[in-house]
Structure 1
């Protein structure tokens, strides 16, 4: 390659496995190459896999053959000296299981091998030095998570340049199972924190195969949290846990609890996610804004009015330091539990005529829609960043929503009296509220997700939840 060339990426038939043509620079003294150069390799499409360990294998003889080993981490393999015939077999769960790819590797070529793809090679020259960067630390129990395939498997039918009966193999590699006997490597797990909250319960419905934990099982405020799991086994963490007592956050005790749960714990969670290469999904709120704008797009700078909003804004800033993150900003959340809609339905049933604020404007967000939107972002491969996610349709006031609940449950909407926020909270200890909570939805809609109209969703919610009227 000439001095002007940069690394080039080639895709393979195995999803996520890439061949990289390196810029090998040499003269009469020898050669030099950048085996891993993050600033050059990310723009050409290589994942930011975060290597933490470098391993080197020296091979005396031509025909030395190693593998096929699928390990629970990503790796970048290359040759320092000599040449190998590289072979890879996809041993992950899914439609590409059993797919095979082969290519010769010399010092000018590297291959990125994703987690769960079986890796093997055969040396074509003596004194070959084979190197690989991995993004997790080897440990004595790591082998229990490997998946193996026999080098001579008839289904994979790898065309080894040197027949295996003439090659140099370890006894273990000779006895690995055939493809029909291989247990595919499962994908990295998804973990939902805050499993018993309104959003957590909705995520159980939308993402049943995920792992769920409440605070009693996994407390992110605990100093033991970083060692609570083998975090490289997880690909996604959805943080549906938070301190949400908006008014109590203005008290001395509430302020401390809010900062501990919404900020300090987020710092720990962010460190774990960054170190283990986990995609972190954080649920945010309209309370990070002061509500003075007509609407709050994703790139608006935070301007929280109260302690709760301040802690959520601080938590968002921490999560934005995680390389793989989604911040899902929502408002006026309604789900399975105590909420505004249930309260209004109960008041209507009991004949109570409430006063409801009519100068706060926004849209309802139903937890089922938030949960579906989160899964859509993660599994659809949407660009990382901040996304507004609420119901769609015409923004309205809390008072108008209360009137609609009365109507839908067969009661007189005129029983609801509209009052200003100042009037409603006069003489009460309360956090200031943003008067405009409208969150534009253009960005998430551009990913292919269409939030439901929030009034239509309200009607469906009341129909599906008859207890809301009792």
Structure 2
């Protein structure tokens, strides 16, 4: 009676048909209905069920469906036999795809969110069971399809005019009237910053992506009740306290830890409890910069400033989310105030700046960082930490400033290189320590198929964009 555990992919993406070993003798039978560790290698997601439901059906021909709830389901039969039907109601090219199969105690089906589920009993006294990964809620959004839909043309064994069917199920809409089920929502936090602005552009036009600024959702606030989190599939945390020197003051240190560590820990809890993928943006400041080579994702954390310590604590917290991506980056440049914009302005004004010449790293343009985030999500890369910066030869801040001056048509020798100690000698108030080596190894993210932008080319394109904006503003006056 027993057979080998086996999974079969179906024409509906994510819908999996499993053959289950059933062990029987004169007393009856036994099966392992759901076994995470043995089914995961066969493709079953670790979907985290939280509720079990049983539908007992007395008569042959009892027909239920087609219902697409906003959660995943593991469907099986405890006793009896059914004809099962599934129709993809998710938005995308698979919308309307149909799969049918006969299900008995030796078979089970994983039904992903947004795929409509229905069945017709083939034996009396059939018990149809399913595990779901969300608690039933009247506030949840459902989608339905009429079991008699002509487009789907499901070949029910017993004609529907002779089947036992509820009035509500008979009234469900035809496929042409069904509103496709959108993907689980994506929430971008810190949407008002340089990276947040780039993420707005990267995900522009996608209705399921939401953006929240600090005023709309502060990481230091209570996050548990801030959203119906089961509706979300991904949280992208582009929010952070980034004032390196201010973090050395008592008030700044409290704020840095509240946002960069405590807030991230709260996000990780929300992600773990609701099956959400957490994307968290980290920093080269989690290292002390003393290594003579580029830093790898596996190098031990060793921050030397209050800001770096808070970011390192955030990395540890983010990694507790079962599905997470931690993107370590450095020297971010985007819309708003940044190093490149400042140097270009000084070049135009004829100012000869003093710029640090003993810190080494690479610029990361926010557009490239946003592209990397979308890439990791789209290819479903393995969870973990990834370094993301521009590629090419590392430079010091002074060398980068000279590049900016040269591309602005100004003598690069006007940039005066100084040591970190000289630069901060006249600083008023505390100064956070900076890593001397901020170069990050990019091999791991490149192995996923992502190609970081060439640093020199990206810098030239950014400066050209600044010139075009300046020219447009001038002509509008």
TM superposition score category, shorter chain reference: over 0.9
| Contact 1:200 1:240 survives alignment (8 Å) | yes
Aligned to 1:236: 234
CA gap of 1:167–1:299, structure 2 versus 1, over 3 A, is: same
Distance 2:21 2:373 in 1: 40
Tell me how far 1:23 sits from its aligned partner.
2.4
Aligned to 1:436: 437
Give 1:277-426 correspondences, 5 Å limit. 277-293=275-291, 294-426=293-425
Distance 1:219 1:59 in 2: 49
Distance 1:292 1:53 in 2: 51
What's the CA shift string for 1:98-135, capped at 9, x where partnerless? 11001111111110000000100011111111110111
| Contact 1:150 1:176 survives alignment (8 Å) | yes
Tell me how far 1:427 sits from its aligned partner.
5.1
Aligned to 1:95: 93
**Structure 2, unpaired ranges of 5+:** none
Whether 1:78 and 2:76 are equivalent positions in the alignment is yes
Distance 1:186 1:128 in 2: 33
| Contact 1:345 1:468 survives alignment (8 Å) | no
Aligned to 1:180: 176
| Contact 1:285 1:312 survives alignment (8 Å) | yes
What TM-score, normalized to structure 2? 0.95
Task: Indicate the SS of the match to 1:345.
Answer: helix
Tell me how far 1:32 sits from its aligned partner.
2.1
Which stretch shows the higher mean deviation, 176-185 or 5-14? 5-14
| Contact 1:84 1:123 survives alignment (8 Å) | yes
Distance 1:339 1:139 in 2: 46
Aligned to 1:162: 158
Distance 1:220 1:156 in 2: 46
Distance 1:360 1:27 in 2: 74
Task: Indicate the SS of the match to 2:259.
Answer: helix
Task: Indicate the SS of the match to 2:42.
Answer: coil
Whether 1:25 and 2:26 are equivalent positions in the alignment is no
Give 1:247-286 correspondences, 5 Å limit. 247-286=245-284
Distance 1:27 1:355 in 2: 85
Aligned to 2:459: 458
Distance 2:67 2:433 in 1: 58
What's the CA shift string for 1:2-44, capped at 9, x where partnerless? 4xx6632110000000011122223222222222222222122
What's the CA shift string for 1:392-448, capped at 9, x where partnerless? 001111110000111111111111111122222235321111111111111111222
Aligned to 1:189: 185
Distance 1:220 1:287 in 2: 20
Whether 1:219 and 2:218 are equivalent positions in the alignment is yes
| Contact 1:363 1:392 survives alignment (8 Å) | yes
Pairwise CA RMSD: 1.5
Find 2:107's aligned residue among 106, 109, 132: 109
**Structure 1, unpaired ranges of 5+:** none
Aligned to 2:134: 136
Distance 1:51 1:398 in 2: 51
| Contact 1:346 1:468 survives alignment (8 Å) | no
Distance 1:303 1:25 in 2: 55
What TM-score, normalized to structure 1? 0.96
Task: Indicate the SS of the match to 2:41.
Answer: coil
Provide the aligned length of Structure 1 versus Structure 2. Answer: 465
Distance 1:349 1:230 in 2: 50
Task: Indicate the SS of the match to 2:64.
Answer: strand
Distance 1:68 1:125 in 2: 20
Give 1:201-216 correspondences, 5 Å limit. 201-208=197-204, 209=206, 210-216=209-215
What's the CA shift string for 1:132-182, capped at 9, x where partnerless? 01111101233xx11111111111111111111111101111111111111
| Contact 1:331 1:365 survives alignment (8 Å) | yes
